[in-house]
DNA sequence: GGCTTTAACGCCATTACCTCA
DNA sequence: GCTGAGGTAATGGCGTTAAAG
C-alpha cells in the first residue's frame, strides 16, 4: 500500500509493507495495518481542516515569478521613495484597527535599495525615517480585523500564493501594505503545514500501533504453530 | 553552452507583541 | 494589576530559480 500525499507544500509518502509482503509472500493471514479509522479520518481531515492540496512546486509559484518579472519590466527602480509613497497611499496604509510596524532589517534594506515598485512600497517605510519615528514605530504589532482575516482566508482558499497583482489588489482592498499581505500568506501557509504535519504524525502513530499489534499477533501465531508442530499427536 | 551575478520569491526559525485566562 | 501561555504579525537567514551579462 502506498499513500502518497503532497499537500500544503508537504509531501509525505507512506509505504506499508503489508501489501508488498502479501504480494510476494501470499500469506493466509490477513494483514490490515492501516489504522482502522485512518483512511476516512485522514481524508475527512484533509478535506475539512484546510484547503485544497497544494504543493510548494505549485504552478502558481512559477506563474507568480514569471508574472512578477514581466510585471516589473519597465519600472524605474531608482524612483523608490516616490513609488513607495504612492503605493502606501494607494493602499491606504493605515490599517483600520492597527498600528503599523516598522519595516526594517536586512531583507528590507536589500530590496528597498534595488527592489520593485511593489517592494519599495512595502519596505520603504524604514528608509528616511528619523530615529524618533523609528523608535515609535518599532515593531508595533498589527492586529487584523475579523473582516480582514475573513477576506484573507477567502483569498487563501482560492490560491495559497499570490502573484504581485493579486497581492497589490488584496492589499488595497484590505487597506494593508502588500508586504503585510505577503507575510500573512506566508504565516498562513506555515500554519497549514503545521496542521498537516500534526495529522501526518497522528496517522503514522496509528500505523505504528497497528503494526505493533499485528506483529504481536503474528508472533503469537508462530508460537502456536510451533507448539502444534512439536505436539505428540502430529 | 557554461559561468557568474542579481533579483525575487518561498520556507523556516525565531522574535516580539498582543490577548486572555 | 501581574503573569504566563498561546496566537500571530513581523523579521532575518538561507536556498532556489530564472534572467541578464
**Residue A98: inside a domain, yes or no?**
no
Q: Is the CB of A217 under 7 A from strand B?
A: no
Tens of pLDDT, residues A179-217:
999 999 999 999 998 888 888 888 898 999 999 999 999
> Cα(A203)–Cα(A200) distance, rounded to whole angstroms?
5
Cβ-Cβ contacts under 8 Å for A64 (sequence gap 6 or more): A161, A162, A163, A164
Tens of pLDDT, residues A122-154:
333 333 333 344 444 456 667 889 899 999 999
CB-based contact A170:A179 (threshold 8 Å)? no
Torsion of CA A74, A80, A86, A91, to 10 degrees: 90
**Residue A184: inside a domain, yes or no?**
yes
> Domain with A173 in it: what CATH number?
1.10.10.60
Domain that holds residue A214: 146-230
**Rounded (5°) CA angle A91-A96-A100:** 70
Q: Is the CB of A141 under 7 A from strand C?
A: yes
Q: Name the helix (H) or strand (E) containing A13.
A: strand A10-15
Quick one: which of A72, A85, A4, A9 has its CA closest to A42?
A4
Distance from residue A114 (CA) to nucleotide C15 (C1'), in Å?
A: 20
Select the more confidently predicted residue: A112 or A205: A205
Amino acid at each position: 500500500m502506498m499513500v502518497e500525499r503532497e499537500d500544503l507544500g508537504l509531501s509525505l509518502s507512506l509505504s506499508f509493507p503489508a501489501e508488498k509482503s502479501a504480494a510476494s509472500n501470499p500469506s493466509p493471514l490477513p494483514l490490515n495495518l492501516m489504522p482502522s479509522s485512518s483512511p476516512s479520518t485522514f481524508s475527512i481531515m484533509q478535506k475539512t481542516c484546510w484547503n485544497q492540496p497544494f504543493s510548494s512546486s505549485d504552478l502558481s509559484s512559477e506563474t507568480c515569478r514569471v508574472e512578477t518579472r514581466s510585471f516589473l519590466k519597465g519600472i524605474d527602480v531608482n524612483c523608490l521613495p516616490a513609488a513607495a509613497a504612492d503605493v502606501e497611499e494607494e493602499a491606504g496604509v493605515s490599517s483600520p484597527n492597527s498600528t503599523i510596524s516598522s519595516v526594517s532589517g536586512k531583507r528590507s534594506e536589500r530590496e528597498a535599495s534595488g527592489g520593485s515598485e511593489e517592494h519599495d512600497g512595502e519596505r520603504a517605510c524604514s528608509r528616511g525615517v528619523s530615529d524618533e519615528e523609528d523608535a515609535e514605530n518599532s515593531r508595533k504589532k498589527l492586529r487584523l480585523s475579523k473582516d480582514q482575516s475573513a477576506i484573507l482566508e477567502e483569498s487563501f482558499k482560492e490560491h495559497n500564493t499570490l502573484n504581485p497583482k493579486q497581492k497589490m489588489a488584496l492589499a488595497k482592498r484590505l487597506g494593508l501594505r502588500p508586504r503585510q499581505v505577503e507575510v500573512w500568506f506566508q504565516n498562513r501557509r506555515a500554519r497549514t503545514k503545521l496542521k498537516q504535519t500534526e495529522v501526518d504524525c497522528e496517522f503514522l502513530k496509528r500505523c505504528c500501533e497497528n503494526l505493533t499489534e499485528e506483529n504481536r499477533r503474528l508472533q503469537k501465531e508462530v508460537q502456536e504453530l510451533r507448539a502444534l508442530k512439536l505436539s505428540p499427536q502430529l
